[in-house]
Structure 1
Amino acid sequence: MTTGELADTATPALTNNLTVKRSISSVNTDNTESNQNTRDTQTVVNAQNIKNTRNVQNAQGNANTANTQSAQATNAEQLLSTWREHVKTDNLSQHTTWRRLLYFIDDEKSIFSKGKTKSLVADSSFFLSATGQQDSGAELDAMLVALSEQLTRAGNGNKAISNKGSAQANNNSALCRFPARVQWLTDTLNIDDARLQLACPELDDWMATLAPEQLSVMFAQEYLDNPISAFGHTLLRIDSQASAADFNQIHHAYALNDTVDGDTADSFVVFAIKAMSGGYNNSIEIDPYPKKLADYLKDDERDTWTYQLDLTPTEVRQIMAHVWETKDLEIPYYFATDNCASEILRLIDVVRPEKHLLSQLPYVVIPSDVVNLLDKEKMLVSTRYTPSDSTVRQAQLNTARQAAKLGYQGLDKETENKIKSAASNPASSMSEDKQVLQAPMIAVSNNNPLDRHPLQRGQMGIGHRGDNSYIDVGLRAGFHDILDRPAGFKQFFNLEGVDATLRFYDTDDDKDNKQPSSVVLQNFTLIRGRSFNPVNTAQKGQTWGANIEATRINDGSQQEGTDHLVGSTTLEYGKSWAFGTPRTGPSGLVTGEMPPQLCYTLATGTVQAGRGINKGYRVGAGVNAGCLYQINNQLRAQAELQLPYWYHGSSDEPDVRGHYWQPITTLGLQYDIDKKQALRLNASYDWQDRVDANEDIKLAYMRYF
């Protein structure tokens, strides 16, 4: 076979082999495509099955969720029904604590009480119910509904804050707005508060900043140079764990101060009238404690007393939760009734309802009354005295004068003035940065308000005026005059208000008609006060006085002029000096008190008007000079010369004077029997020879209550 034949023979075979391979390849390709199609089909089927399964699962999940939500809603409704039954059975809508949380004042203090049918809060945002201000039951039910709704939301897992909007929604929720109400309800109804946990960013931040652990009442002594503070002031010291553990670490504490939100542009008279009559709202101020304390110790130079309250940390936090609820409310402020002092008792009453502290006060509320009431109710744990800057400087001055007197060292005028001056002597109870209290080595002053006499005073006396004998009966609403027992008050403090005296004369029908009527109003004082800041002490300020009263005076313009009742207004301004040896404490340390004896000279101006006196009025100017002598702890004496020159206006009558001098000398002496009783001797002599009765002497028994 030739090569060509071989080639021809091989070609058909190769061709057939290629054909077979192509066929196999084709079959394989078809099989692959078929398999791929099968796999694609299976994938689609599987995907559809998964989708169907998921749909079924989602449907089942939705059904389960719906069932769960329905069950939770049913459970919440059942709880709500149970709560309502509990509320009805125990009459919780009228519970004292619940009504106090809503500002219903049920404690009747006097016939002038505002009553108990309506909350004092008029702001609708303070209530969840449209009728909450009038109906404490409706408000309680609205709170229960809010709690049940929160339980339903909590069961759905809607507790977390996911964005700013939901955070704000939480802040506006009932649980975040009224934490004290929620806490009381959960405690009273045994609600599982773990299911009511809700993040409240604003409330949580506020509580974290204050970190309230302990509360104390801080009393700042009376301060006549600011009439708004004339009766003293109280505020709450809020202690964290750090400041509770160390009283001096005041930078870890805050001050809660309830004060009048007055308009500083108003005149003093307008301001006083509005503050007394509720024309201003109250203002709750929460400031760092060092800042507030510096206002009293440094700016006003007033000693302070701090009394820790017997409250548990849980009660403290509940009080602060209630403060959160009420701190932005607009509630009328009444200087004499609803003020800084009454607000402290109202807050304590929320956690100690059985005490009924607010109802134990008289209608007119004085800050030191609150401290004394808390002491009587065994609510005070400890007492701390913090002297003002002027008291610390006075202690240094007393020490320097004592050393000079004993010959240990000299004391020239320049050195003395440097000690007295706040500008040159930075001595203080506070550190230089005002963040920490220091412990000045001085004895405690005799001005603890727990030691004071009761503020109301009644008196009954017998006396003689001219040719007539009489019996005096008097009543003073408050506060303290310079002859009263001095313990518990600022040194030389002198402020009285609403003091009336009736005089019953022993008349004789056989005598001439110049004898007085059988019963006369001898005096009615609206306000009388003197502020003594001796120039030779470390006490800053001026010496001045003022009084507004109706009083009986001798008209010296007419021959044998009789006494007449006139309205009288007097202003005084001058200087005073302190003398003697300052008191030393039991420990031997010198006190920061001024020397005990006082002398003063005051320029005076007086306007009087009344029926019976010449021309119906008189205007006077002159000088009052006097001294107070502290004989011992129980006996004090005061002598004064009044030297006024009176002008009635010109007169054509020969026996009537239009102007004249009318010197009067007075003497007062008081002996304290005890804290609530005293004997007082008053004597005066009118040196004007044209009046019908020159001398007046009276011995009276004084009872403080």
Structure 2
Amino acid sequence: MFKFLMNVHHVISVSPLQCEILLMSIHSVSNRIAIDGTPIQLSCRARLPLAIAGLLLTVQAQAFLPTPASLVTTGELALNTDTNTNTNKAKAETDANQLLNLWREQSTTKNLAQDTTWRRLLYFSDEKKGLFGKNKNISAVDDARFFLSSNGREDSGAELDAMLVAFADEMANKTNNSETNNTAQASNSNSALCRFPARAKWLSDTLAIDKSAMQVTCPELTAWMQKLAPEQLSIMFAQEYLDNPLSAFAHTLLRIDSKASVADLSQIHHAYALNDTVDGDTKDNFVLYAIKSMTGGYNNLIEIDPYPEKLAKYLQDDERDAWTYQLDLTPEEVQQIILHVWETKELKLPYYFTSDNCASEILRLIDVVRPEQHLLSQLPYAVIPSDVVQLLNKEGFLASTNYTPADSTLRQAQLNKVKQESKQLGYHNNPKQMLNEIKSAQLNKVSSMSADGQTLLPHQIAVSDTNPLNRHSLQMGSIGIGQRGDNNYIDLGARAGYHDTLDHPSGFPQFFDLEGASATVRLYDTDIDKANQPKSVVLQNLTLIKGRSFNPVNSAKKGKTWGASIEATRVNDGSQQDGTDHLVGSLGYESGWSWAFGTPSAGTGEMPPQLCYTFLAGTAQTGRGINKGFRVGAGVNAGCRYQINNQLRAQAELQLPYWYHGSSDDSNVRGHYWQPISSLGLQYDIDKKQALRINANYEWQDRIDANDDVQLSYRRYF
């Protein structure tokens, strides 16, 4: 019988469409024809005779199998296609409809319309996060070009069916071309298979569709994939950079490696950078730009550029250390992610600085190829780059880690070495000109990249303690007990992020100081028999954002030292006798100088661990409780931070503001005055997640009710 079948194979002419229908019709039969319990996998291209043999050996399949005579007749008809074009087209359409019905039945049985991967490919959210979460029943994409179905944005099933129809059309077209002796493949970049290759691949794999039966040439997609040649993906993390507020929370992008750069990671000219950023209007002023970036006023922008160009910007222009983490993804998953990027790279989605940003897009792409993972939904509303890196590490996605120091870090290492050698030789001062030449980016061209910017050079310094995997959690809760004047109190506080100068420094840029979305509520134990007693419960502080950027003048860093704050806080009004505290809105800015001193970590590009600073400060405050409802101040803020050991840090500061309320007719009310404040902070780290902190401050003003405030608090990072 098998000899007969092999002979029959030579005289049968079966189109790809007919072959696909034949194989899908006998799918259940082929699963019962097994060798040692393993089902035989059929292929139109290689094992059609064996498939026909399976049919002959199964009684239930006889109705589907043509007789040998009819097969010969079909073969004879195939030889006369020139005179039967219309008949063949009609038959191809009939066969396509039969396949379409089979696919629809399978997709319904498997409920593919609600499959996690299919919904993620269409930008449907996995879940709704409270009132401000995304609607899981509507795609985040509102561009009609992203959908084949007019109802695709609201109905994943309608989009699935439209894709299956596109499959059937492609198969029919291919069959018609082959049966009219047209050997040229269709070339149509607007084809659904060319526009949505990731969807097509997932559906064809899930439904076990023979890909050879619906091949279409996609020249633009092919050229793009050949250009990127994706073999491996890595996350590049550029550390926080306060001198550009939009980079204050760090940045992440995907490094796309080809075979050449996988074989030698230093050959970065064979790699590309996939960067999701904000497509902002550079004509907008900074405040408007920041507001639009945070509220979705701009669209996102997918950039795919040569990797050396992006890396140079961070290492050389911004002076930011970079950490690269290879992702533990299979080559097939890498290919599918890049195919999905092809589908989405032209979309104009709203960009939200805290939730839909460079970091969230990386998690979304990984979620597409790992349906069992729910990475993006594990993070809160704010998706911060370092949280993403830590989450991927916890979930086992990071296969290796590489550190690339910034140019300024390498210059700092040289500066440290020269100073250390001079100290060992007994010299206390180095020639100023020599130190300035080492610090100068123009005179000292040391870099982690080659002169042509195409290759990574091996660095000869120890790794700095800036790996974000080693940092404390950004969220923090605290409870403190203290005394202000004669009143005891309890403080309850929470901070959404980020880090101040007394927090554990590992994993952050040196002297990093940035806090956002924090609040403190104070519960007083008041004495009702005394005058000027505070309310039992008050909002002590509500900070939108507050931070300082330290770039010591005696280091290799080239930036300025400055600070800014936007907050609501309680202040003592020194304009009136026995004045009490009041809640005010406060806007402040500082500009000044800082100096690093002490002995830096050996062999690293870290600055010395101690810091002193001086700022010229200006502040504007407004609130109903203070004199005339406002005050403006200017003065000097000076202080020092001291790293006692790895677990203990201290900071002392003196603020010398001069306040102005405006002139007053009341002789007991001052319109302007000095109000110095001295403060001391001390933190001891129990471990990476727990710490104890002491804060004390004293206001050198005799016209306020309570001058001193001392507090001990427990802080928990989570």
What is the TM-score of this pair, normalised by structure 2? 0.87
CA distance in 1, matches of 2:402, 2:446: 19
- Whether 1:246 and 2:264 are equivalent positions in the alignment is yes
Alignment correspondent of 2:46: none
Tell me if structure 1 keeps the 8 A contact 2:127–2:134.
no
| Alignment counterpart, residue 118 of structure 1, candidates 138, 142, 154 | 138
Deviations 1:16-37 (A, max 9, x none): xxxxxxxxxxxxxxxxxxxxxx
- Whether 1:328 and 2:346 are equivalent positions in the alignment is yes
Tell me if structure 2 keeps the 8 A contact 1:626–1:641.
yes
AA partner of residue 113 (structure 1): G
Tell me if structure 2 keeps the 8 A contact 1:495–1:527.
yes
Alignment correspondent of 1:369: 387
Tell me if structure 1 keeps the 8 A contact 2:177–2:183.
no
Alignment correspondent of 2:644: 631
Tell me if structure 2 keeps the 8 A contact 1:106–1:115.
no
Tell me if structure 2 keeps the 8 A contact 1:482–1:492.
yes
CA distance in 1, matches of 2:183, 2:409: 54
Q: CA deviation at 1:318?
A: 0.5
Deviations 1:633-686 (A, max 9, x none): 110000000001111111222222111111110000000111110000000011
CA distance in 2, matches of 1:137, 1:79: 18
AA partner of residue 627 (structure 2): N
Q: CA deviation at 1:358?
A: 0.8
Tell me if structure 1 keeps the 8 A contact 2:81–2:88.
no
CA distance in 2, matches of 1:229, 1:107: 29
Q: CA deviation at 1:155?
A: 1.9
Alignment correspondent of 1:404: 422
Counterparts of 1:82-121 in structure 2, within 5 Å, are 82-121=102-141
Q: Which has the larger radius of gyration?
A: 1
Tell me if structure 1 keeps the 8 A contact 2:589–2:619.
yes
Alignment correspondent of 2:36: none
| Alignment counterpart, residue 607 of structure 1, candidates 620, 637, 640 | 620
Q: CA deviation at 1:64?
A: 5.4
| Alignment counterpart, residue 138 of structure 1, candidates 144, 152, 158 | 158
Alignment correspondent of 1:426: 445
Q: CA deviation at 1:395?
A: 0.6
Tell me if structure 2 keeps the 8 A contact 1:572–1:605.
yes
Alignment correspondent of 1:551: 569
CA distance in 1, matches of 2:127, 2:600: 46
Alignment correspondent of 2:377: 359
Cα RMSD, aligned residues only:
1.7
Tell me if structure 2 keeps the 8 A contact 1:553–1:563.
yes
| Alignment counterpart, residue 150 of structure 1, candidates 162, 170, 175 | 170
Secondary structure of the 1:427 match is: coil
- Whether 1:667 and 2:686 are equivalent positions in the alignment is no
Tell me if structure 2 keeps the 8 A contact 1:464–1:698.
yes
- Whether 1:491 and 2:510 are equivalent positions in the alignment is yes
AA partner of residue 173 (structure 1): S
Secondary structure of the 1:171 match is: coil
Q: Which runs of 5+ in 2 are unaligned?
A: 1-75
Q: CA deviation at 1:288?
A: 0.2
Tell me if structure 2 keeps the 8 A contact 1:154–1:196.
yes
Deviations 1:520-569 (A, max 9, x none): 11111111000000000001110000111111111111112111111111
Q: CA deviation at 1:76?
A: 2.1
Alignment correspondent of 2:543: 525
CA distance in 2, matches of 1:300, 1:537: 15
Deviations 1:297-350 (A, max 9, x none): 011110010000010111101000000000001111111111100000111111
Alignment correspondent of 1:20: none
Counterparts of 1:25-424 in structure 2, within 5 Å, are 60-62=80-82, 65-66=85-86, 68-157=88-177, 167=187, 170-407=188-425, 411-424=430-443
AA partner of residue 680 (structure 1): R
CA distance in 2, matches of 1:447, 1:480: 13
How many pairs align? 640
Q: CA deviation at 1:67?
A: 5.0
Alignment correspondent of 1:46: none
| Distance change in 2, residues 1:365/1:161 (3 Å) | farther
Q: CA deviation at 1:161?
A: 8.9
Alignment correspondent of 1:479: 498
Secondary structure of the 2:287 match is: helix
Deviations 1:409-467 (A, max 9, x none): 88311111000010100000000000000011001111111111111111000001111
Deviations 1:333-374 (A, max 9, x none): 111111100000111111001111111111111111110110
Secondary structure of the 1:632 match is: coil
| Distance change in 2, residues 1:92/1:121 (3 Å) | same
Q: CA deviation at 1:272?
A: 1.0
Q: CA deviation at 1:506?
A: 0.8
CA distance in 2, matches of 1:235, 1:408: 47
Alignment correspondent of 1:654: 667
CA distance in 1, matches of 2:249, 2:183: 49
Alignment correspondent of 1:457: 476
Deviations 1:554-594 (A, max 9, x none): 1111112111111111110000000000012xxxxx11110
CA distance in 2, matches of 1:440, 1:109: 44
AA partner of residue 423 (structure 1): Q
- Whether 1:440 and 2:453 are equivalent positions in the alignment is no
- Whether 1:682 and 2:695 are equivalent positions in the alignment is yes
Secondary structure of the 1:111 match is: helix
Tell me if structure 1 keeps the 8 A contact 2:467–2:507.
yes
CA distance in 2, matches of 1:84, 1:60: 33
Q: CA deviation at 1:267?
A: 0.8
AA partner of residue 219 (structure 1): F
CA distance in 2, matches of 1:138, 1:57: 38
| Distance change in 2, residues 1:371/1:59 (3 Å) | closer
